[in-house]
Structures are given as C-alpha cells and as structure tokens.
Structure 1
Amino acid sequence: MTGRALSSDWLKIRGKGIWFLVFLAPIGLTAMQALNFGLRLDYLKQQYGDNLWGGLLNNVVVFVPLALMLGATILSSMIANVEHEQGSWKQLLALPIPRTAVYLAKFMLACILLIVSSLLLTVGVVGLGLVLGFDASEIPWTDTIRLGLLPLAGALPVLSLELWLTMVTKNQALPVTLGIILAVMGMFSLSISPYFPLAWAQMAWNGPHSWMYAGMGIGMGLLIMLLGMIHFSRKDVA
C-alpha cells in the first residue's frame, strides 16, 4: 500500500518546482564556496596546509544544517500543498489505502528528496575541489558522503515535525514560519547544549560521538513521525 501511495506521490510532484528546490540547495552551497575559495585560494591553501579537502568540507558544513532545516520546511509544505491546493484530501483518503500508508509515503518522499539533495552536495563539493586543483587521490570519500547524510539524520526531527504540521494544516503560514525559526535557532543551538535537539545536525558532523547524535536524530524523528501519523489517521482533513 505504501509503495502504491509513494508511486502516486512521485507523479504528483512533477511540475511543482520541488526538484528545482532539491537541486538549488547543493548548487547554492557549492557556488558559495566556489566564490569563497576562488577569491581567497592562496590564503586558504596556506591556512589548511596539507588538508585542503578537510578545509573545504569544514567551510561547506557550516551552512548544511541551516540548509537542511529550511529545505525540510519548504519541501514538507510543497508536498502537503499538492493535496491542499487541489482540495484532493477527501478523494485521496476515500481510496482503499490506509491513512498511515498515505502519511508514510509522503514522509518517505521527503526523506528521499533530501537524501538526493545531500548526495548532490557531495558531487558538487568533490567537483569543486577538483576544479580548484586539489589532489584527486586524496579525496576523503567517507567524509564527503557523511557531509550531508549525517546532518540530515540529526535534522530528521525538524522534518518529521514540519511534515506533521503541514499535512494537518491547510494554512501553511504557521508551520513554515515555525520551520524558519527552528532553522535559525539551530545555528545558535550549540550555545544551549549539544544535547539540545536542534544542535544534533551540527553534532552529527563535528561532535565527539557523531554517530550517536545521528542516531538520536533518527530515533526522535521516527517518534515524531509516528505521533504525526497517528494524529493524521484520526483527524478530519479538508
């Protein structure tokens, strides 16, 4: 059932600008660092010495949690709006597909789109490093793949919360505003505590136990997703 709902959602997002957003974030972050390194290449080469790839990754990852949380907010709203704008919730939920399958399919769609965006960021960063003349034999493949995926795991609670709110609320102003606030708060969350959930996207990359924070993000994200699924399955959606 979930597979059928997911296949239907893939068709629905065509021509909705969602794929543009998926490509926009990694291209934007890569372009930002292309400008940064292009203007200060000699200085940055001296600063990072023999670890040019590490320096590039550290410059990129500063903006990744913010981009992920904003992306999760906007993607959730756009996915939910496919049904809200067409007024098709009643028709969709009248089909012989459980509400839980409908909700899970949209959650999986959002996760897949963010994973694709994260992997595109990996490709963009590697390509930028090669263009800048970094040694191809020294590409830290593990770290470049971790660059987007571990912060995404840490940011999963925000995605789950935003999808929940956008799915059950026709007016998207409140959930989108909340998502922007959470994304901005996430930039300063380490000053509160590394165990504060909004800090997990950062700690999943540079924390002393990065996999632990990624796991905490996945665990809380799935818990919020389950709560949202239960609420959605019992709520009348217009």
Structure 2
Amino acid sequence: MMGKLLSAEFMKIKRKGIWFLTVLGPIGVVAMQMVNYGVRKEYLFRQNDDRWGYYLDNIHSFTPLAIVLGIVILTSFMSSIENETNAWKQLMALPVSKMGVYLSKFTVLSVLLLISSVLLLLFTLAFGISLDLGGEIPYDGLLKYSFYPFFAALPVLALQLWAAAVSVNQGVPITLGILGVILTYAGYALPDWLIWKWPLLMNDWEEPLINVLLGGGAGLILYAAGMIDFVRRDVK
C-alpha cells in the first residue's frame, strides 16, 4: 500500500514544475559561484592556498538558504495541489491510513531534497574541476557540504509539512516559511538551538556533525508530532 501511495504522490507532481524546482536549486547555488569566479577568479585564488576548501566554503555560503527556501516552496506546492483538487478527502475515502498518507508526503519531499543534494554534489564537482583548482579533490568535503545541510534541515521540513498539512489557510505555512528563510539568512548571529541555523553547520563546538545529529533527532520528533496531529484532525 505504501508503494501505491508513493506512486500516486509522484504522479501528482509530474507536471507541476516541482521536478524543475528540484533541479533549479542546486543549479542556482553553483551558478552563483560561476558568476563569482567568472568575474574575479584570480582574486579568489589568492585568498586561500587551499583553493578547493575555499571554493566549497563559497558554495556552502548559499546552500542553507537554498535548501530552506526549497523546503518552503516544495511543501507549499504540494499542499496547493491537494487543495486545488480536493485530494485530501479523496485520499481519505480510500482504504488507506492517515499515517500512510502523511508518511508518503514526507518521503516524497525528502526524496526530492535528497536528489537536489546529489545534483549539488555533481554540479559542484564538475565546476570545481573546470576551474582547475589543483591538488586532490576533497571528496569528504564535497559529501559534507552537499548532504549535511539536508539532514540538518529535516526539522524545518517536518515543521513546514506539519503546518501545511493541518492549516486551512495556507498563509500560515507560507508565513512560517518566510520567517524561516529570514532566520536562516541571519543564522550566523542566532543561538545554536534554533533549527533554522542548523543547515549552516555552525555551532559553538565547531563540529558540523552535531547539527546533523540534532537535525535527525529533532526532525523525527517533529515528524511524529505532526503526524499525530494530522491523524487526529478532520480532513480539510
């Protein structure tokens, strides 16, 4: 049954531009550096002897904002599809559980963001090679900056899906999303406990893995809370 729910979810987004947005995110992040290095390549090369490390830091400066903004847009799009087609009531009329419906939506969103992370890694690697940065390619750094923000942002995803799934007025999750984007943008000055700061991979311990572990744990808690709330409510 779960397989059928996932197939149905992917069919819904087939012609809605969501796949385009999934690809656009990582392209946009790398395109920023294409412009940056295209305009002042020699200057940037002089900033740090570790050219690969400096390049990855520049890529990562845009990644947290892109992934939080992507979460807001994707959850909003998926909710709008349900509201436009009255799909919530149609789904509930089928012999499926609310838990299964909620899990399928969270899974599809996670898969889309994971695909974006994979594409970010590939585009980052390809452009880095084209720049002829020299030295060995830091594959560990590529993996960290491509996938750590995704896992650290899981609480944001769980919270946005929760708000989108239970809100009759979609202005609520959109407002929450805008606030989240602003908080992520200002994350460098925020306390470590705010979930919107975690994709930046910054903390007082200077250990990015802590943000990943916190993201996984808090994401699971918020997902469970959202699912329980969704199951208990009447269908919109």
Fold match by TM threshold 0.5: yes
Q: How many residues align?
A: 236
What is the CA–CA distance in structure 2 between the aligned matches of 1:12 and 1:74, rounded to whole Å? 16
What is the CA–CA distance in structure 1 between the aligned matches of 2:169 and 2:146, rounded to whole Å? 30
- Over 3 Å counting, the alpha-carbon distance change for 1:83 and 1:219 in structure 2 is same
How far residue 187 of structure 1 moved from its aligned partner, in angstroms, is 2.3
Decide whether the 8 Å contact of 1:204 with 1:211 is kept in 2.
no
Amino acid at match of 2:113: L
Decide whether the 8 Å contact of 2:155 with 2:216 is kept in 1.
yes
Decide whether the 8 Å contact of 1:150 with 1:204 is kept in 2.
no
TM-score (norm 2): 0.94
- 1:14-69 superposed Cα distances (whole Å, 9 cap, x missing partner): 000101110111111111100101111111111122x1111111001111111111
Structure 2 portions without partners, runs of 5+: none
Decide whether the 8 Å contact of 1:29 with 1:60 is kept in 2.
yes
- 1:87-119 superposed Cα distances (whole Å, 9 cap, x missing partner): 121111111111000000100100110010011
2:186 match: secondary structure: helix
Percent identity between matched residues is 39
- 1:139-193 superposed Cα distances (whole Å, 9 cap, x missing partner): 1112112213111111111111111111122432221121111111122233232
What is the CA–CA distance in structure 2 between the aligned matches of 1:207 and 1:15, rounded to whole Å? 44
- The aligned counterpart of 1:17 is 17
When the two chains are superposed, the root-mean-square deviation of aligned CA atoms in Å is 1.7
- Residue 68 (str. 1) matches residue 44 (str. 2): no
Runs of 4+ in structure 1 over 3 Å off: 204-207
- The aligned counterpart of 2:28 is 28
- The aligned counterpart of 2:166 is 168
- The aligned counterpart of 2:126 is 127
Once the two structures are superposed, the pairs formed by residues 81-230 of structure 1 within 5 Å of their partners are: 81-135=80-134, 138-203=136-201, 208-230=206-228
What is the CA–CA distance in structure 2 between the aligned matches of 1:89 and 1:204, rounded to whole Å? 39
What is the CA–CA distance in structure 1 between the aligned matches of 2:199 and 2:107, rounded to whole Å? 19
Decide whether the 8 Å contact of 1:151 with 1:204 is kept in 2.
no
What is the CA–CA distance in structure 2 between the aligned matches of 1:151 and 1:71, rounded to whole Å? 12
Amino acid at match of 1:227: A
Amino acid at match of 1:93: M
- Over 3 Å counting, the alpha-carbon distance change for 1:206 and 1:142 in structure 2 is farther
- 1:194-229 superposed Cα distances (whole Å, 9 cap, x missing partner): 233222111269962221211111111111111110
What is the CA–CA distance in structure 2 between the aligned matches of 1:109 and 1:33, rounded to whole Å? 29
1:138 match: secondary structure: coil
1:5 match: secondary structure: helix
TM-score (norm 1): 0.93
